Amino acid sequence: MTLSELLAHRAATAGGETALTWPAATLTWGQLDRRVTAAAAALRRVTEPGQRSAILVPPSPEYVVAFLGALRAGLVAIPLGPDGRTRVLADAEPSIVLATSASVRAIRHFLATSDTCGHRVLAVDAAPDAPGCTGDPVAPSDVAYLQYPGGVMVTHANVVANARQAAQVPAASTVVSPLPPSDPLGLVLGVAVPIVTGRPVTIDESAPGALPGCYVVAEATALVPCGHPAGQEVAIVGRDGRRVPAGDAGEIWVSGPNVARGYWRRPEESARVFCARITGDDEPRWWLRTGDQGFLTPSGELCVTGRDLVAGYRPADLEATAEQAHPAIRPHASAAFAVRGDQAVLVLELADGVVPPRGDSPKIHEVERAVRHAVSARHGLTLRRVVVRPSSAGDGLW
Instruction: Kindly list the domain boundaries of the chain, sorted by start residue.
Output: 3-203, 214-306, 315-389
Question: Is 80 exceeded by the pLDDT of residue 179?
Answer: yes
pLDDT of the residue at 278:
96
- Please compute the mean of the pLDDT values over residues 318-347 and round it to a whole number: 82
Question: Is 90 exceeded by the pLDDT of residue 67?
Answer: yes
Question: Is 90 exceeded by the pLDDT of residue 337?
Answer: no
Q: Mean pLDDT over all residues of the chain?
A: 87
User: 3-203 architecture in CATH?
Assistant: 3-Layer(aba) Sandwich (3.40)
CA distance linking residue 38 with residue 98, whole number of Å = 13
pLDDT of the residue at 133:
87
Query: Which H helix or E strand runs over 41?
Result: helix 29-44
Per the CB < 8 A criterion, the answer to whether 55 and 32 are in contact is no
Q: Greater confidence, 359 or 81?
A: 81
SS3 at position 25: strand
What is the percentage of the chain residues whose pLDDT exceeds 70? Answer: 90
- Please compute the mean of the pLDDT values over residues 71-85 and round it to a whole number: 92
pLDDT of the residue at 396:
37
Pick the CATH number of 214-306 from 2.30.38.10, 2.30.30.100, 1.20.1260.10, 2.40.50.100: 2.30.38.10
| Domain 315-389 homologous superfamily, CATH | ANL, C-terminal domain (3.30.300.30)
CA distance linking residue 346 with residue 352, whole number of Å = 19
Distance set, CA 302 to CA 181, 191, 236, 278 (Å): 27, 26, 9, 18
Work out the pLDDT band at 210, boundaries 50, 70, 90.
very low
Work out the pLDDT band at 172, boundaries 50, 70, 90.
low
Question: Is 70 exceeded by the pLDDT of residue 170?
Answer: no
Question: Is 50 exceeded by the pLDDT of residue 335?
Answer: yes
What is the percentage of the chain residues whose pLDDT exceeds 90? Answer: 53
pLDDT of the residue at 358:
56
CA distance linking residue 198 with residue 12, whole number of Å = 12
Residues belonging to the chain: 398
CA distance linking residue 29 with residue 8, whole number of Å = 8
pLDDT of the residue at 213:
60
Angle between helices 362-379 and 315-323 (to 10 degrees): 130
Per the CB < 8 A criterion, the answer to whether 86 and 152 are in contact is no
